[in-house]
Structure formats: C-alpha cells, structure tokens
Amino acid sequence: MAKINNLPASAYAAPHTMSGKKVNINEVTGPSNKQYMKDANVSVANTHSNDYNGVKTSGIKMRGTGAATKGLMSRGPMA
C-alpha cells in the first residue's frame, strides 16, 4: 500500500512562474469578474442579457471555382 504524506502547504515550493519569479496572488491577470459577467451573453428562458451579433449579409467565397469568369462569391447570409 502506498504511503500517503499529507504535509502543510509550507513544505512545498512557493507559487512561482515558469522562470522562477515569485507570484503575487493579488495581481489581476484578466478582466474583472464584474466586467466578465456583464459581457457574457447569458440566456434564461426566452430572454438574453446582450444582443446577439447581427445577421451576416455578405456572401461567402466558393471553393473549387477554378477559372471562374462570373465571380467567386455565393449569395446570401451563409455560415
């Protein structure tokens, strides 16, 4: 049976970056939680918090047109 060692956190290496620098736990590395939640597009039942992106109105480039002479774009809001 394996021996289990439950040591206090102080027995292990202190938090550090890959280059060995100490990490300050109070550093903010991204948007604040309040801003993140405000920007998240959350939907509940039949309502949502933010507007969705608009409908795509331009066409998309077709594949396999080779030596096409009449254009390379498909019509309509595809994809």
Q: Which residue, among 15, 39, 36, has the nearest Cα to 27 in the 3D structure?
A: 15
Residue 45 vs residue 79, higher pLDDT: 45
Q: Taking CA 15 as the corner, what is the angle to CA 12 and CA 16, rounded to the nearest 5 degrees?
A: 120
**What's the pLDDT at 2?**
66
Q: What's the whole-number mean pLDDT along residues 69-77? A: 72
Give 32-54 as a DSSP string. Answer: -HHHHHHHS--EETTEESSPPPP
pLDDT digits (tens, 9 = 90+) for 54-72: 776 677 777 777 777 777 7
Q: What's the whole-number mean pLDDT along residues 47-55? A: 75
